[in-house]
Amino acid sequence: MLPLDGITVLDFSTLLPGPLATLFLSEAGARVIKVERPGGGDMMRQFGQAEFDLLNAGKDSIALDLKDPAALERLRPLIEKADILVEQFRPGTMNRLGLGYEAVKAIRPDVIYCSINGYGSNGAYASVPGHDLTYAAEAGLLGLTTGADGAPVVPWALVADVGGGTYPLLVNLLMALLKRQRTGEGERIEVAMFDGLLVFASWALAERMEKGTWPAPNGHAASGASPRYRVYPTADGRHLAVACAEPKFWETFCRLIALPADLASSEDWPAVIEAVAERIARRTSTEWTAVFDGQEVCCAVVRTPEEAITGTLARDRGFAPAADGSLTLPLPLAPSLRRDARAPAPTVGQSNEAIFGSLTQG
């Protein structure tokens, strides 16, 4: 038995944050019914079908024009059975469609109603549109790390969507399920991605509290200012990520690269960085891998995505490609809490006949 067996989720979300959250729920046993626009469906299908398939495997899809006055009545039987509703529109949109929290609660009193948006439903920013990069800019994260030209670096990791949206939603949602199990009460949950991103700036907030000043770009030990926590180029054009934050790791690292003791203990960070960089640049990434093999130094060669997903670590963790080369999105769920296999992602409206037909017959 999976932890969410018997739970039904109505998923109105699109693109990444909501669909990734409901993929977790589906993997844990929930039935996820994805509500899509007739024709094109979720916009992610146009942005990248492969990414849509990764995020929506194993879900049902119904196609329904939510602007049609009859849409609510068609959805009513599904709302009556839905334990969880997830939506990702701008604040106020679901109310205008007749599907706001109060309307849904009137149909299913113990529903757990989850909204993901950028800035919350109150305040001057409530209706302002945005995407991952927008929220990272507003939250100050882009200002903490810059390139050689001083300009902020566009992060590959979608920290707002996943770290500020998906994961906070899952935490709140699962706590709400536990509360409902104990009290019988539903819950209204709103996750603003801006809020979730502020957690990622904990180092900056702590420095402000301790020193009374905010860190400059790349000016904190956690953003590359320290020689102990930095990326260094190797002789073959690759890079070595050094994360020797603890003294014992730093001592071992300095011994292995033959850094003199006076530099190893120096607080003159620029001078130490220069000395470490000069030594790391003498050898290739393969040579450094051999030097650090079996040593406790917290160093790693910066891998390409291909190397990461096809390497030994991914195989050991069970995330490697299948024998036919196909990939699934790795989810950090304990094996006993997730399905053994995922069904393919649905086509737009694939489940219309099965779901609406069964409701009509019922």
The CATH number assigned to the domain holding 240 equals 3.30.1540.10
Q: Are residues 14 and 159 in the same domain?
A: yes
Residue 209's Cβ-count burial label (10 Å; 0-12, 13-18, 19+) is exposed
Q: Are residues 122 and 49 in the same domain?
A: yes
Q: What is the pLDDT of residue 328?
A: 86
Q: Are residues 145 and 278 in the same domain?
A: no
- Of 100, 62, 86, residue with least CA distance to 14: 86
pLDDT at 360 over 70: no
Q: What is the pLDDT of residue 146?
A: 87
CATH code of the domain covering residue 195:
3.40.50.10540
Residue 270 CA, chain-centre distance (Å), reads: 34
Per-residue pLDDT tens digits for 129-139: 999 999 999 99
Q: Are residues 146 and 284 in the same domain?
A: no
pLDDT at 362 over 70: no
Alpha-carbon distance of 96 to 93, in angstroms, equals: 5
68 noted as active-site residue:
no
Q: Are residues 40 and 120 in the same domain?
A: yes
Among 301, 316, 331, which residue terminates a domain?
A: 316
Per-residue pLDDT tens digits for 243-276: 999 999 999 999 999 999 999 999 999 999 999 9
Residue 18 forms part of a structural domain? yes
Q: Are residues 192 and 252 in the same domain?
A: no
Residue 216 forms part of a structural domain? no
Q: Which of the 8 DSSP states describes residue 152?
A: B
Per-residue pLDDT tens digits for 2-56: 999 999 999 999 999 999 999 999 999 999 999 999 999 999 999 989 999 999 9
Of 65, 149, 161, 262, catalytic? 161
Check: pTM over 0.85? Answer yes or no.
yes
Residue 329 forms part of a structural domain? no
User: What are the structure tokens assigned to 251, written together?
Assistant: 């001592």
pLDDT at 310 over 70: yes
Q: What is the pLDDT of residue 324?
A: 83
User: What are the structure tokens assigned to 98, written together?
Assistant: 């007749």
Domain of residue 238 covers 234-316
Q: Are residues 113 and 23 in the same domain?
A: yes
> What is the pLDDT confidence band of residue 109, given thresholds at 50, 70 and 90?
very high
Give start and end residues of each alpha helix (H) in the chain: 17-27, 44-47, 49-56, 71-81, 93-96, 101-107, 132-138, 167-183, 193-198, 202-211, 247-256, 261-264, 269-280, 285-292, 305-310, 312-316, 352-361
Q: Are residues 175 and 89 in the same domain?
A: yes
